[in-house]
C-alpha cells in the first residue's frame, strides 16, 4: 500500500484527537440518555455532561454558560446569528455590514437577506487582508443593526482587530458578530474585553468532531435578541430546537480544553514550523505571501506562484501532500478564490495559490519534505513552460 500524503489542510478540518475520542465514547453506549429527559438517571448523566461542556466553552471565551447555544456547526451558527438578528431587529433597521473576505457561511446569508430587501455593505480589505477601521466606521448608519467580521480567515489566516472593531460597534450601539470557527483554541478570545455580542464556533477545526458547533449570544449589556431559525421543542433558550447531541458536545468541550492547556507551546511550535516552511519556499522567485506577515494564525501559510498553472501545481503536489488552493467549502468551483481576488490578485495568481494548514501532528521532517517537493514542482513546471 502506498504511503498516504502528508496532511497540511488543517483549515479544512482536523483529525479528532484520541483524547477527544476517549472522552466521547461513553456517551454513545453507557451514558446515552437524552439531556432533556429529567425523570431518570440516564437523562441526568447526559444533562450533567452538557452542563460541564457549557462551562468549559464559556470559560474559554469569558462568557457565562447560559450564553452558549449549541448548533450543528459554524455554518448553522452564522445563519442563526445573521438571520436571527435581521428578523429580531428589522424594525430598528435593515442595514448589515460585513467583509469581502468572509466565509460563504456569512456572505450567503447576507445575500439572502439582500433578496428580502435588507441593505448589505461589503467592506473591501487592504492588501494584507485587514479591514480599514476608518472605512468601517464610515459605513455605520443609524439603521445599521449588525457588523459581522470574522476573527481568523479560513484561507489566508489573517486575524482581524476584534478589540478595536468591538469598541467602535459598542460606541455606535451596533451588534458585533464574529465567525470564530478558525480561531477558537488558537488565539485568545474574550467576549467581554473584545465587546463581542455574538460569536460562532465549531469543533472540527480544533481536533474535535464534525457536526457540532456553538453560538455565543450575549445576555446583558446589551441583551441580544435572536429569532430562532429552527422550531420544535424550544431547546437552547428557545433559539435552537433539537435534541442535543451529547457525545459531540462532550468532544467539542474536550477539544477546546486540550487546545487551551497546550496553547502556549503549540502556538510557538506551529509558528516555527510555518516560518521554516516559508524560509525554504520563498527562495524561489515569483512567490507571494498572501495576508499579513505576522497578524495571522500560527499554522497558516498561503502563497501564490507566478508563472505556473494552478491546476498543474496542485496535481504535482498531491502525491506528497494534502493541501488546497482555497476554502474546502468551495473547492469544487472553477472560479478563483474570492478571498485572494479581494486582496487585489489577478486571476492567474489567485488560481496558482496553495494554502498550507499546519497542525498538531505535523513534524519538522514533514515540513522539510513538503518544502523540497514544492520547490521542485514549481521549478519543474516553469521549466516545462519554458521548453514549450
3-state class (DSSP) for residue 63:
coil
Q: How many CA atoms lie within 13 A of 20 on its CB side?
A: 24
Catalytic residue among 10, 110, 169, 329: 329
- Kindly state the helix (H) or strand (E) to which residue 166 belongs, with its residue range: helix 162-172
Cell of 132: 480599514
Instruction: Please give the grid coordinates belonging to residue 339.
Output: 478571498
Burial class from Cβ neighbours inside 10 Å (0-12, 13-18, 19+) for residue 250 reads buried
Residues 6+ apart with CB under 8 A from 47: 35, 36, 38
Using an 8 Å Cβ cutoff, are 382 and 312 in contact? Answer: no
With b for 16 or more beta-carbon neighbours within 10 A and e for fewer, the 361-387 pattern comes to ebeeebbeebbebbeebbeebbeeeee
The answer to whether 99 touches 131, Cβ cutoff 8 Å, is yes
Indicate the helix (H) or strand (E) that contains 290: none
The residues with which 305 forms a beta bridge, in sequence order, are: 287
CA separation for the pair 82, 68 (Å, rounded): 16
Number of Cβ within a 10 Å radius of residue 244: 19
**Using the 8-state DSSP alphabet, how is residue 225 labeled?**
P
The C-alpha cell of 200 is what? 460562532
329 as an active site residue: the answer is yes
Query: What amino acid positions are annotated as catalytic residues?
Result: 329
Amino acid at each position: 500500500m502506498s504511503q498516504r500524503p502528508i496532511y497540511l489542510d488543517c483549515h479544512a478540518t482536523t483529525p479528532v484527537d484520541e483524547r477527544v475520542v476517549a472522552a466521547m465514547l461513553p456517551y454513545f453506549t453507557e451514558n446515552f440518555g437524552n439531556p432533556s429527559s429529567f425523570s431518570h438517571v440516564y437523562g441526568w448523566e447526559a444533562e450533567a455532561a452538557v452542563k460541564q461542556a457549557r462551562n468549559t466553552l464559556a470559560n474559554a471565551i469569558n462568557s457565562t454558560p447560559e450564553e452558549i447555544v449549541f448548533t450543528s456547526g459554524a455554518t448553522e451558527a452564522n445563519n442563526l446569528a445573521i438571520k436571527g438578528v435581521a428578523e429580531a431587529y428589522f424594525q430598528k433597521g435593515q442595514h448589515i455590514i460585513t467583509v469581502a473576505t468572509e466565509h460563504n457561511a456569512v456572505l450567503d446569508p447576507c445575500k439572502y437577506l439582500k433578496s428580502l430587501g435588507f441593505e448589505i455593505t461589503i467592506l473591501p480589505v487592504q492588501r494584507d487582508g485587514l479591514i480599514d477601521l476608518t472605512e468601517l466606521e464610515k459605513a455605520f448608519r443609524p439603521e445599521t443593526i449588525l457588523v459581522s467580521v470574522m476573527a481568523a480567515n479560513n484561507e489566508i489566516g489573517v486575524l482581524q482587530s476584534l478589540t478595536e472593531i468591538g469598541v467602535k460597534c459598542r460606541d455606535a450601539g451596533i451588534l458585533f458578530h464574529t465567525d470564530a470557527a478558525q480561531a477558537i483554541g488558537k488565539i485568545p478570545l474574550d467576549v467581554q474585553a473584545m465587546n463581542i455580542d455574538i460569536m460562532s464556533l465549531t469543533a472540527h477545526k480544533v481536533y474535535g468532531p464534525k457536526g457540532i458547533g456553538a453560538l455565543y449570544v450575549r445576555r446583558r449589556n446589551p441583551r441580544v435578541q435572536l429569532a430562532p431559525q429552527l422550531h420544535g421543542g424550544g431547546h437552547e433558550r428557545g433559539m435552537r430546537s433539537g435534541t442535543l447531541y451529547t457525545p459531540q458536545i462532550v468532544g467539542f468541550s474536550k477539544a477546546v480544553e486540550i487546545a487551551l492547556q497546550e496553547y502556549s507551546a503549540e502556538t510557538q511550535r506551529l509558528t516555527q514550523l510555518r516560518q521554516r516552511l516559508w524560509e525554504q519556499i520563498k527562495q524561489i522567485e515569483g512567490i507571494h505571501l498572501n495576508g499579513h506577515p505576522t497578524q495571522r494564525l500560527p499554522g497558516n501559510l498561503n502563497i501564490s506562484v507566478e508563472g505556473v498553472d494552478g491546476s498543474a501545481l496542485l496535481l504535482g503536489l498531491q502525491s506528497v501532500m494534502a493541501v488546497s488552493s482555497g476554502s474546502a467549502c468551495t473547492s469544487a468551483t472553477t472560479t478563483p478564490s474570492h478571498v485572494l481576488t479581494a486582496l487585489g490578485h489577478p486571476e492567474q495568481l489567485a488560481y496558482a495559490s496553495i494554502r498550507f494548514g499546519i497542525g498538531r501532528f505535523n513534524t519538522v521532517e514533514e515540513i522539510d519534505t513538503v518544502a523540497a517537493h514544492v520547490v521542485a514542482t514549481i521549478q519543474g513546471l516553469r521549466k516545462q513552460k519554458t521548453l514549450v
